[in-house]
């Protein structure tokens, strides 16, 4: 797929007790059964930070404060080309629920390599393993 029109997508690194939250995609998703960092697609005229705050509330049922920018990643899948913007997100309130995912899991940064992530997430996984040890 040769496409320069990348869909803008956000993802969050949410930490708790030295672990990072990951979410397993639903069976209906083109990347089904892969794990990801929660987030979603930007709407028109929305900033990445506002998108991520909204998506985390919709997908997980939690209120967060969006923190520092971590990195970006571009990847062209056979069905979509995305540019992924990753931020640290700090939990404020609410109960974590898998509203849009098959499963949620808290894992140590060193355990991330044991999970099957989409290719766009690979740089984030590497960065977490190297730098997010708490």
- Which tens digit of pLDDT belongs to each residue from 20-35? 999 998 877 777 788 9
Q: What is the CATH number of the domain that holds 35?
A: 3.90.79.10
CB atoms within 10 A of CB 92: 11
Q: Residue 56 sits in which domain range?
A: 7-131
What pLDDT, on a 0 to 100 scale, did the predictor assign at position 133? 44
Residue 2 lies in a domain: no
Does residue 24 sit within a domain? yes
The beta strands (E) that lie in the chain are given as 7-16, 19-24, 35-36, 39-41, 62-76, 81-94, 103-107
**Residue 1 counted as domain residue:** no
11-to-40, 51, 85 alpha-carbon distances in Å: 7, 9, 6
Q: What is the CA radius of gyration of the chain?
A: 14
Structure confidence by residue, pLDDT tens digits, 80-121: 899 999 999 999 999 999 998 999 999 999 999 999 999 889
How many structural domains is the chain composed of?
A: 1
């Amino acid at each position: 797929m040769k496409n320069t029109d990348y869909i803008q997508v956000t993802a969050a690194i949410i930490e708790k007790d030295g672990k990072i939250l990951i979410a397993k995609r639903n069976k209906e998703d083109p990347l089904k059964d892969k794990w990801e960092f929660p987030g979603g697609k930007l709407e028109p005229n929305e900033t990445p930070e506002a998108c991520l705050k909204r998506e985390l509330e919709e997908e997980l049922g939690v209120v967060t404060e969006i923190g520092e920018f971590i990195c970006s990643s571009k990847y062209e899948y056979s069905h979509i080309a995305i540019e992924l913007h990753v931020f640290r997100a700090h939990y404020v309130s609410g109960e974590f629920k898998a509203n849009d995912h098959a499963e949620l899991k808290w894992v140590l940064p060193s355990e991330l390599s044991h999970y099957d992530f989409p290719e766009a997430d690979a740089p984030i996984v590497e960065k977490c393993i190297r730098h997010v040890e708490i």
